[in-house]
Structure 1
Amino acid sequence: MLLEGVEEKEKFIHIVVDEAQDYNPFQIYLINKLTKGNSLTLVGDIAQGIYYYKGIKNWSDIVEKVFEGKATFMQLTQSYRSTVEIIDFANTALEAQNLDLKRAKPVLRHGEIPEIIKCNSDKDVVSKIDNIVSNIIQKGKSSIAIITKGADEGRILEKIIKKHSKLKVSLIKGNEKDHDNNIIIIPSYFTKGLEFDATIIYNPSSNNYKETLLDERLLYVALTRALHYEYIIEIDDLTEMIKNNTSIAKPN
């Protein structure tokens, strides 16, 4: 494309790129070449850049190096998804990234404080999940995500639930075209861009979410998926990103 160029008639009037933080500057440059008159909108959140090793490190590089300073940068901090309480809790993980980013500001919609639930056995975990699901359904909500750190943990949890409960859950592996269940088990890295009535963050321990940029961002993504209700299932010692801010969450 760079050698032969793109004919003007094949170009787009305008292109919008979502999740732009996961593209590298060269990819942005190439996409821009497909537009007429450099008409391009990038939408993204660096705090959710889980492919940071190849993605955008900061927006100023894009403005200066790709668009030669001829771009308008707008920082939007208003969050329309979650309640005040959920966003306040998630902001603790955002601050752990030590980035020069403003805290998300939720719309003035209050709800329940995120709840930390300590579990001592597999059977206890399943009992607590059953209770949460029952309560959420009674409140008229339906979509519930049990968010694990990775796929292996998700497969183990699915087996535990099948052993101790009649609860029907779908394990998301990443290759599904669709699923017919409102209750899913899903790895943290598949949740970006999704939202649910309620989320259950499964075992966000210091071993699962270490003090690395990737883990900090995965936890932030996981903590910002819930619309109304958020629960933390504590099995091992909580990650410092949550432990240091447990005054925000309602203990159980």
Structure 2
Amino acid sequence: LPRYKTCGGGIIGPSRDALPPGFELPLKDRVPDARRGAGAASGPGAACETGTATGGLLAAEIERPRVGPMRDIAATIQPEQDDLVRAPLSASLCVQGAPGTGKTAVGLHRAAYLLYTHPRRVQRGGLLILGPNRAFLAYVSEVLPALGERDVRQTTVDEEVARTVGHEPRAEDTDAAAAVKHDARMAAVLHRALYARVAPPAGELAVPDGAYRWRVPADELAALVAEVRAEAPPYLVGRERLRSRVVRALRARAERRAGPVGAAWERRAGRSRPVAALLDACWPRATPEQVLAEVLADPRDPVLTGAERAAIRWARPPRSYRSARWTAADLVLLDELAAALERPAGYGHIVVDEAQDLSPMQCRAVARRTAASGSLTVLGDLAQGTAPWAARDWREQLAHLGRPDARVTALTAGYRVPGAVVELANRLLAALPVDVPPARSVRRDGEVTVRAVDVLEAAVVDAVRAALAREGSVGVVVADAAYGRTREVLAAAGVPAGHPGEVAADAPRVTVVPAGLAKGLEYDHVILAEPAAVAGGDPRGLSRLYVALTRAVSRLDVLHAWPLPPELRAE
């Protein structure tokens, strides 16, 4: 990867002195003449505000048709984004970014920058990219390879957890059960359930050694158990630590009577049946599956209410924890227990996108994967929080992520979403339960149409055909429940439609997108069908609608047969 260099207007890209002789930068990486300024731009650039941070080059990059995966966007990095990209490796950052402000660009370029600037330190621990879903990861998958970085793991939190615990989700929780399992209190519930196994000995320890029998009284053994327990090591480390101290007590008795003993004697004593029996009684072996199965079969922890205990209790406990069918939330709990048993190794740096939608327990899973000297780049937008447990405050979320003092920076200048789209979407902000600055767009272009229609399905087909007459990608965003039906309607009309995240060269220009998967995606032309159905009337519905409205790069058609949500109506 060529050396990074700050260029005029904040654009970053390879510096010329790092390039081979005779190599010419592609147009997108050339530095615009700062003396011209954005005001001298013509064509697409004329739609941007004046100023050194924007201009013809930036506008041309932003307004190029969105076909295929997300591109290398080095040419559109702006000064305020560049400062975040180049932050020290040791610094953990949180970027609160309104739609289209480039927070994903910041995270991906920061990953490439750190890998290039600190190759040994970062590669030694590894670098992990965590996205919200597979569709998003497919869309951004080519950015890092285009920047010269191919050996970076890109996955979701749920997939990373499933890989670690060795299970796939094979069951589904009720909404009530999922809410309890993702609550931060479950960490304490699981910890207490695990360490409830630790108990003082029932009697003395007697270990035969030839003609002698070395004895350790019960009160001394109880003190050793309490001592190790107070040190709070990982559970399996504690078991071995207790073994070591019991052997030390036996050795002291043997040496007082017969002189020094060797390492072989200590190994025999540690593996003796009486010591093994003591450990099994005082600090028994455990597996994450065994502990979680016991909790879910009969939850008793008083930190949970009666209703919460009933919500997570298995209706029909399996015959054995080995045959249990785990849910996605269960896998996060298994991951918590696995870390309590034995501390895992961490990554040198983690970039986590759409972090506002992580539950407290998912945040803890991310935090465990950060090495002691590692750092995080946290990207998200509180206004786009659509999960039932979505964060409403970054400080609280960063505490769950193990970085309560991380620097929080707000990006409000939007480069992707046109001003007309931003103006419409901003109407929803006052009704959202978060405090974020409104987005503003540097682009004064964009087409927005809001139309009441009699027959929604026919109107969607007509809108798609009209959009296909113009250049670029087309995203049809619908309520999740309408996804299958909308695909059927378009297929019957002879309009091929792809799936979210489909980036093959021969993929259809039209993609039907359930609103629940729209986050992070972008299309030249977005047709939003039935905003009231997307909002859905649930507490996070307006946030989901806010996401859906802000996927358009050039044009937005809003079609509705039902009345618009009150928050979206013009005053």
Calculate the TM-score normalised by the size of structure 1: 0.79
Q: Secondary structure at the match of 1:2?
A: helix
The answer to whether the 8 Å contact 1:19/1:43 transfers is yes
- Aligned match of 1:91: 426
Instruction: After superposition, give the CA deviation of every residue in 1:8-60 in whole Å (9 maximum; x if it has no partner).
Output: xxx3221111111122234333423333424111111122121132x433112
The answer to whether structure 1 residue 155 and structure 2 residue 493 are counterparts is no
1:138 Cα offset (Å): 3.6
The answer to whether the 8 Å contact 1:50/1:214 transfers is yes
- Aligned match of 1:189: 516
The answer to whether the 8 Å contact 2:534/2:544 transfers is no
The answer to whether the 8 Å contact 2:478/2:534 transfers is no
The one-letter amino acid paired with 2:524 is D
- RMSD of aligned alpha carbons: 2.7
1:148 Cα offset (Å): 1.0
The answer to whether the 8 Å contact 1:210/1:239 transfers is no
1:144 aligned residue (474, 477, 484) = 474
1:105 aligned residue (427, 430, 440) = 440
Give the direction of change, closer, same or farther, for the CA distance of 1:216–1:32 in structure 2 (3 Å limit): same
1:67 Cα offset (Å): 4.2
- Aligned match of 2:107: none
The one-letter amino acid paired with 1:217 is S
Gaps of 5+ in 1: 248-252
Instruction: After superposition, give the CA deviation of every residue in 1:168-201 in whole Å (9 maximum; x if it has no partner).
Output: 334x4x7979682111222100111111111111
CA distance in structure 2 between the partners assigned to 1:188 and 1:225 by the alignment: 10
The answer to whether structure 1 residue 49 and structure 2 residue 378 are counterparts is no
2:412 aligned residue (77, 82, 90) = 77
Give the direction of change, closer, same or farther, for the CA distance of 1:97–1:21 in structure 2 (3 Å limit): same
65-74 vs 38-47, which moves further? 65-74
Q: Secondary structure at the match of 1:14?
A: strand
CA distance in structure 1 between the partners assigned to 2:489 and 2:468 by the alignment: 22
CA distance in structure 2 between the partners assigned to 1:33 and 1:4 by the alignment: 11
Instruction: After superposition, give the CA deviation of every residue in 1:112-132 in whole Å (9 maximum; x if it has no partner).
Output: 2x111222136xx42x44443
CA distance in structure 1 between the partners assigned to 2:344 and 2:497 by the alignment: 48
The answer to whether structure 1 residue 2 and structure 2 residue 337 are counterparts is no
CA distance in structure 2 between the partners assigned to 1:175 and 1:69 by the alignment: 33
Gaps of 5+ in 2: 1-338
CA distance in structure 1 between the partners assigned to 2:523 and 2:403 by the alignment: 40
Q: Secondary structure at the match of 1:103?
A: coil
The one-letter amino acid paired with 2:485 is I
The answer to whether the 8 Å contact 2:396/2:404 transfers is no
The answer to whether structure 1 residue 227 and structure 2 residue 553 are counterparts is yes
Bigger relative contact order, structure 1 or 2 (CA pairs below 8 A, ≥6 apart):
1
CA distance in structure 1 between the partners assigned to 2:547 and 2:388 by the alignment: 14
1:69 Cα offset (Å): 4.2
Instruction: After superposition, give the CA deviation of every residue in 1:94-140 in whole Å (9 maximum; x if it has no partner).
Output: 3321421111122234222x111222136xx42x4444334433432
Q: Secondary structure at the match of 1:39?
A: strand
CA distance in structure 2 between the partners assigned to 1:119 and 1:66 by the alignment: 46
The answer to whether structure 1 residue 22 and structure 2 residue 366 are counterparts is no
Give the direction of change, closer, same or farther, for the CA distance of 1:4–1:199 in structure 2 (3 Å limit): same
The answer to whether the 8 Å contact 1:32/1:39 transfers is no
Q: Secondary structure at the match of 1:73?
A: strand
Identity %: 26
Q: Max radius of gyration: which structure?
A: 2
CA distance in structure 1 between the partners assigned to 2:347 and 2:441 by the alignment: 34
CA distance in structure 2 between the partners assigned to 1:176 and 1:108 by the alignment: 28
Q: Secondary structure at the match of 2:559?
A: strand
1:198-237 aligned within 5 A: 198-205=525-532, 209-237=535-563
The answer to whether the 8 Å contact 2:392/2:433 transfers is no
Greater percentage in helix: 2
CA distance in structure 2 between the partners assigned to 1:70 and 1:208 by the alignment: 36
The one-letter amino acid paired with 1:215 is G
Q: Secondary structure at the match of 2:422?
A: helix
Q: Secondary structure at the match of 2:409?
A: coil
